[in-house]
């Protein structure tokens, strides 16, 4: 999809890779709409990026379905139909499952798993009517492999991957020119996973954002960052007995210890 003059909505767009993607979209002459819960970050991002092109922002709590509906209506009235939707907002708690509160579980599932579906439902019918559009869902490599201290986060991302892939197939079956990209990155150095220690390199946010934007332009169906993650997990889980896969992922690659010193973003 050519991004010039397209209207792009990015959730969680005031920081991290959301903010970087917003800048990259503006550099490609797209019109950008940001949703973020953090008003000070949103104001600062709008001030910084407004010199690059057309960008507006809305304070939205994507765990609140009423705010999603109201903000979507406002965007359509004030900006117009959205052509590219990037479901990027996400949270992680980083505890063993028995340490999670009910609120931890509910918030994680609401923001990471439910919100992308609710938000997409607000904009998809316009894309179907115009027979053009792109939905990009930022999931995680945790949507492919379980990990200690990430149980609820992994559950939310497995949910997102399954829904995103199913939505893509539905668009194909319906013969619609609405593309769906499912992104499954390894840890990205944005602050969200501060304290994580990994043998596999933690990903650079600028490079990750560039790859995601390129995937949207190329209508890529599935993007893992780095690329070997998908092949390793799928092939390894298919060919190795569970205890061998756990040994290789846990002891050789050290994946199962990555959250040991997790701090996260304040």
What's the CA gap between 67 and 59, in Å, rounded?
Answer: 9
What's the CA gap between 79 and 56, in Å, rounded?
Answer: 9
Annotated catalytic residue, options 153, 186, 187, 256: 153
Of 206, 191, 202, 204, nearest to 229 (Cα)?
Answer: 202
Under a CB-based contact definition with an 8 Å cutoff, are residues 62 and 162 in contact?
Answer: no
**Annotated catalytic, 153?**
yes
Under a CB-based contact definition with an 8 Å cutoff, are residues 217 and 3 in contact?
Answer: yes
Place of tokens 């999809």: 1
Structure tokens at 221: 């169906």
What's the CA gap between 60 and 34, in Å, rounded?
Answer: 9
Q: What is the DSSP letter of 75?
A: H
Of 3, 13, 50, nearest to 215 (Cα)?
Answer: 3
Under a CB-based contact definition with an 8 Å cutoff, are residues 183 and 215 in contact?
Answer: yes
Other C-beta atoms closer than 10 Å to the C-beta of 239 total 9
Structure tokens at 216: 């949207």
Under a CB-based contact definition with an 8 Å cutoff, are residues 163 and 216 in contact?
Answer: no
Q: Which residues are catalytic?
A: 153
């Amino acid at each position: 999809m050519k991004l010039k003059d397209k209207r792009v909505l990015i959730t969680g767009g005031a920081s991290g890779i959301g903010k970087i993607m917003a800048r990259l979209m503006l550099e490609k002459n797209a019109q950008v709409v940001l949703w973020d819960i953090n008003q000070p970050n949103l104001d600062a991002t709008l001030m910084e990026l407004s010199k690059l092109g057309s960008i507006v922002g809305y304070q939205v709590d994507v765990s609140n379905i009423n705010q999603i509906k109201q903000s979507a209506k406002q965007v359509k009235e004030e900006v117009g139909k959205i052509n590219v939707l990037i479901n990027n907002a996400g949270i992680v708690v980083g505890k063993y499952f028995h340490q999670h509160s009910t609120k931890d579980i509910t918030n994680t599932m609401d923001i990471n798993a439910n919100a992308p579906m609710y938000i997409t439902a607000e904009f998809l019918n316009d894309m179907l009517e115009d027979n053009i559009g792109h939905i990009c869902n930022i999931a995680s490599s945790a949507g492919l492999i379980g990990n200690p201290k990430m149980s609820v986060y992994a559950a939310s991302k497995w949910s997102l991957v399954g829904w995103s892939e199913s939505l893509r197939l539905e668009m194909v079956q319906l013969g619609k020119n609405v593309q769906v990209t499912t992104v499954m990155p390894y840890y990205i150095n944005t602050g969200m996973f501060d304290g994580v220690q990994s043998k596999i390199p933690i990903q650079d946010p600028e490079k990750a954002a560039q790859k995601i934007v390129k995937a949207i332009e190329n209508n890529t169906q599935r993007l893992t960052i780095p690329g070997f993650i998908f092949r390793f997990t799928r092939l390894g889980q298919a060919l190795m007995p569970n205890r061998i896969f756990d040994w290789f992922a846990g002891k050789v690659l050290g994946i199962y210890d990555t959250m040991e010193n997790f701090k996260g973003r304040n």
